[in-house]
């Protein structure tokens, strides 16, 4: 990723962490970085009959018939199951289902082919057991290359991390539980402060002159003392304690 796009991505991630809506800017950055005929943002509520809100860039809005059919046919698309259960890294639909197999399915004939949505690259920004926020890039005649997928995931990772942070912070505020940094040991506070700045375990270890294994031990202790369970939720807790 070049320095200009890296700066733009960092600005978008900071806005997301602050609760500022910037998905439009993210779509523009993705389009400029890789290119697609159509980009979409899908907020999905999963269940027996999935529900979704879809925004499109570069295409007309979905019709009532499309909105009726998608919940019925989503589970028949092999890529949808991969997005719900597989790794969260950026991926292509053709990584999961060959195009010739996809073209045999009703979901292709009724929903994808009419919009010339042949090739899809999916970027999971958020996923829980009951919901998913997915950005997709679509092309009609050309699949996404390995290098393009690497570029997309480089852009996805900081934005997804910022969303996890924002979700954890919102949850903390909603719980009404006050955060108090004094519940942590001195070393745990040092680790939490560096994690909140976005440092990896290896970077924290180098900064503090300890091993990554010891960093992990202090993280686990901090999680237990604060009621958090991840780096993002600990960072949000740290912010809630007024330590950033």
Measuring CA to CA, which residue among 131, 153, 182 is closest to residue 1?
153
pTM above 0.85, yes or no: no
Paired tokens of 230:
């991840």
Q: What is the pLDDT of residue 166?
A: 85
CA–CA dist 171, 177 (Å, integer)? 10
Q: What is the pLDDT of residue 120?
A: 98
Total residues belonging to the chain: 244
Are 152 and 34 contacting, i.e. CB atoms less than 8 angstroms apart? yes
Are 134 and 42 contacting, i.e. CB atoms less than 8 angstroms apart? yes
Q: What is the pLDDT of residue 15?
A: 87
Task: Specify the CATH number of the domain 3-164.
Answer: 3.30.450.80
- Residues of the chain with pLDDT > 70, as a percent, come to 95
CA–CA dist 193, 129 (Å, integer)? 30
Are 226 and 234 contacting, i.e. CB atoms less than 8 angstroms apart? yes
Domain boundaries, the chain: 3-164, 177-240
- pLDDT < 70 regions, the chain: 49, 172-179, 242-244
Q: What is the pLDDT of residue 243?
A: 62
Are 220 and 212 contacting, i.e. CB atoms less than 8 angstroms apart? no
Q: What is the pLDDT of residue 244?
A: 59
Supply the DSSP string of the chain, one letter for each residue.
--HHHHHHHHHHHHHHHTT---HHHHHHHHHHHT--SEEEEEEEE-SSS-EEEEEEESSPPPPHHHHHHHHHHGGG-HHHHHHHHS--S-EEGGGTS-HHHHTTSHHIIIIIGGGT--EEEEEEEEE-SSEEEEEEEEESS-PPPHHHHHHHHHHHHHHHHHHHHHHHHHHHHHHTPPP-GGGS-HHHHHHHHHHHTT--HHHHHHHHTS-HHHHHHHHHHHHHHHT--SHHHHHHHHHHTT--
Q: What is the pLDDT of residue 207?
A: 84
- Report the topology of domain 177-240: Arc Repressor Mutant, subunit A (1.10.10)
Q: What is the pLDDT of residue 143?
A: 98
Q: Is there a shared CATH topology between the 3-164 domain and the 177-240 domain?
A: no
């Amino acid at each position: 990723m070049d320095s200009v796009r890296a700066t733009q991505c960092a600005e978008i991630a900071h806005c997301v962490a602050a609760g500022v809506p910037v998905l439009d800017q993210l779509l523009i950055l993705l389009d400029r970085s890789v290119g697609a005929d159509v980009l979409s943002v899908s907020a999905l509520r999963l269940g027996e009959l999935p529900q979704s809100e879809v925004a499109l860039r570069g295409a007309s809005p979905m019709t009532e018939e499309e909105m009726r059919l998608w919940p019925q046919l989503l589970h028949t698309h092999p890529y949808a199951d991969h997005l719900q259960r597989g790794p969260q890294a950026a991926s292509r639909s053709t990584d999961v289902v060959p195009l010739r197999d996809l073209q045999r399915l009703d979901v292709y004939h009724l929903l994808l082919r009419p919009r010339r949505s042949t090739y899809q690259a999916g970027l999971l920004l958020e996923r829980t057991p009951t919901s998913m926020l997915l950005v997709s890039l679509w092309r009609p005649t050309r699949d996404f290359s390995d290098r393009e997928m690497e570029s997309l995931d480089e852009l996805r990772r900081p934005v997804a991390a910022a969303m996890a942070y924002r979700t954890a912070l919102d949850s903390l505020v909603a719980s009404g539980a006050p955060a108090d940094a004094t519940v942590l040991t001195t070393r745990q506070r040092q680790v939490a402060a560096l994690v909140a700045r976005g440092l990896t375990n290896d970077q924290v270890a180098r900064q503090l002159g300890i091993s990554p294994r010891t960093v992990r031990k202090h993280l686990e202790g901090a999680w237990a003392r604060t009621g958090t369970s991840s780096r993002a939720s600990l960072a949000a807790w740290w912010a809630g304690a007024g330590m950033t």
